Amino acid sequence: MVTIAILVSRVEALCVASMLEAQGIAVHVGASHHASTEVISLALGGHRLWIAKADYQAASDLIREAGTADHWEFSRSMQRAVLRLMAFWAVVFVLPFMIISAIEWENQNSGPLGVVFPIFSLFSLPVNPQGSGDYYLAPPSA
């Protein structure tokens, strides 16, 4: 088995693996059960793509032809979607809780913000770790 790529995103790893499998190249995706929303997948070495040594040249040529190894762009779409969901959640659930708590806990020291601040810390969680993958391609065939 030859490592042809180490990718940060599980989605990218599965897309490249599907592209190779569509051309008849068997691919093993390492760490495919680690969700890419977890930073732990990066700590474990990313998602590795292994192929048979006999398919190394064909797979390298296909990845080079598709331009997968050359083009990478940071995408904020997943981050924006999660932030919209969290904002909706905050308006629908947290805001009424704060209003009711402010009325009920008017004379307490902590107040409703002491309860709500840990909830708002969820906004700092990484949603979809991204980064340029490392491709280990064979030299171009003649």
pLDDT digits (tens, 9 = 90+) for 43-56: 778 889 999 999 99
E runs forming strands in the chain: 2-7, 27-29, 47-51, 134-135
Residues sharing a CB contact under 8 Å with residue 2, sequence separation 6 or more, in sequence order: 50, 51, 52, 53, 56, 136
Using the 8-state DSSP alphabet, how is residue 121 labeled?
Answer: G
Q: How confident is the model at residue 116 (pLDDT cuts 50, 70, 90)?
A: low
134-135 and 47-51 beta bridge pairing: unpaired
User: Alpha carbon of 22 to those of 15, 86, 127: distances in Å?
Assistant: 11, 38, 30
pLDDT at 129: 65
What is the C-alpha end-to-end distance of the chain, expressed in Å?
A: 23
Contact between 49 and 28 (Cβ < 8 Å):
yes
Averaged pLDDT score across all residues of the chain: 80
